Each structure stands twice: as C-alpha cells, then as structure tokens.
Amino acid sequence: MPERTFGEIAGFPPGSTFTNRQDLAASGVHRPLQGGICGGKDGAESIVVSGGYVDDEDHGDEIIYTGQGGRKRESRQQTEDQELVLGNVGLARNSIEGLLVRVIRGAGGDKNYSPATGLRYDGLFRVAEYWHDTGRDGYRVWRFRLVADDEAVSPEVGSEDDVGPVARASTTVQRLVRNTQMAQQVKELHRHTCQICETRIDTPAGPYAEAAHIRGLGKPHHGPDVASNLLCLCPNHHVMFDTGAIYIGPDWVVRDSSSHGAISRLRRAASHPIDAAQLAYHKAHHVP
C-alpha cells in the first residue's frame, strides 16, 4: 500500500471536476476505482459521496456519511451489519487524530450539493464524531459526521502578505497537514505510549496519545514548530504538563512542581531528540 497523502493534492484545488472514476483515480485525489473510502488503520485520506447508501445525509458543510460494507455489490440495500474495519476504522482514526479527509461528491448524491454529472472535489473535512446505529434496512451502520474545515481556508495572521488569497489558503492547508503529520510521526515513534508513565490508551479506532508542545506556538511564547518541541503524552500527563503541575529538569527527571520530588524519568528515543532549552522555558513560565 502506498503511503497515504493527507490534505490537498497539488494541482487539484476544491472545485476541480472529473469525468469519471478513472479520471479521479489518475489525479490522486481519490485513488481507488471503486471503493467509497480510501483508508485503513492509519486513517482515511479521501471519500466519495455519491448516494450509494440510503443512510447518507448531505447538508453541504456537514455530511452524515455511512461507513462501508454490509451490502452486496451494486446494491444500495444493507443486508449485514457493518464492522469498524477497513475504511470505517480509517475514518474513526481521522476523528481521534484530527486528520482531514478529502471529500469528492458524485452525480448520484444529494441534488442540492452534488455535480450534475461526473465528480467534483469539494475540499477538506474533519471527522467531528462517529457512532453506530441501526440503518433504515435494519442492520448496523457506522456513521461519521463530517464538517467542512473552515480553518483550512482561513488565512492565518502572519507574514505571508506576498501571496494572494488562494495561494495563502493552500499554504495554510499544507501547514496544518504538515503539523498534523509531524505530531503523528512523534506519536508513532513512541508507539502512542506516554513518555512519562508508559500508559498507552487502546481504542477501537487504534492507539491514542497526544503530541504536547513544550513551548507554545504563536504569541506569546513563539515556540518552534519542530518535533524536538513535542512530547508524546497520555491526556493526564498532558494536562499536568500544561498546567505546570509537573516539569522536566535538565537531567530528564520528571518532577512534581509543588514538592519538586521525582515522579519518573522521561523516556527518550534516539530518533526524537528533545530540546532541553524548551523544557527550561516551560519551567520558567508555567511552574509557579
């Protein structure tokens, strides 16, 4: 399986149209010739919404998308329960990891939002939530609430006055995707295991951890947007770190900020060096 490409595909901005699935596949915007979801355990990069499932709902900026499986080829009817596997677990993974999915609408979909013929790429959506339900045909369907990602097209306040609005939006999208990928890489490298307590949260959508910035990005902290400024933490230690309940000394010992007693030692990986200067910044500004 080729590595997944999340985010926009160069040369195919939102609004790009395609005559058929062959055209679409060739562009790289949605690679499979038949499947509605291009995804697996590592997330879903793109989906096609084309009215194939009776439980789909299209509201424009919000789509309730039905997962795959449970129906016979060429039939719109469900005859079996859907499972949280393949493309379905891919979309669930997007939800817990904050990965954006490319949405392509086909002519068979809701007539208010779908192209009259062929297919159209309609931009990046986030998977706001997912759950399962009994579909209209009486079998379990997984449902995904997709929301158009406005952030992806709002230009950031910054130093990009030299680019036009389209270029700026695209730059912003790619930066968001790049940052998400960096966080993903750090988490994968640590196998989604907390560098402080070794907790790993296993969920039906795969392992869960958080990439915590040591020194905050943007105003007022201006931390660098690099992997050496990230830690892989469980949510509990993320809260403790952000609130200054704990800090990490130059000896890599994790200490309680009220007693200064040692709690553990930060587990490090040769392929993920941590910038001790950022840890010193954290202690200097967040620990009372």
Contacting residues toward a copy of itself, per CB under 8 A: 64, 83-84, 96, 129, 131-133, 143, 145, 199, 201-205, 208, 216, 220-221, 234-236, 238-240, 243-245, 257-258, 285-288
| Residue closer to a copy of itself (CB basis): 25 or 197 | 197
The Cα–Cα gap between 287 and 259 comes to 12
281: left (phi over 0), alpha (psi -120 to 50) or beta: alpha
**Shortest gap between Cβ of 194 and a copy of itself (angstroms)?**
9
Q: DSSP string of 132-172?
A: EEE-TTSSEEEEEEEEE-GGGGSPPSSS-TTS-HHHHHHHH
**Count of beta carbons in the 10 Å neighbourhood of residue 97:** 20
Strand pairing category for 100-106 and 43-49: parallel
**Shortest gap between Cβ of 224 and a copy of itself (angstroms)?**
17
| Residue closer to a copy of itself (CB basis): 174 or 236 | 236
| Residue closer to a copy of itself (CB basis): 138 or 288 | 288
Using the Cα atoms of residue 10, residue 15, residue 21 and residue 23 in order, give the sign of their dihedral.
negative
| Residue closer to a copy of itself (CB basis): 207 or 249 | 207
**Shortest gap between Cβ of 199 and a copy of itself (angstroms)?**
7
Structure tokens at 71: 């129906």
**Shortest gap between Cβ of 285 and a copy of itself (angstroms)?**
4
Strand pairing category for 246-248 and 140-148: unpaired
| Residue closer to a copy of itself (CB basis): 13 or 235 | 235
**Shortest gap between Cβ of 242 and a copy of itself (angstroms)?**
9
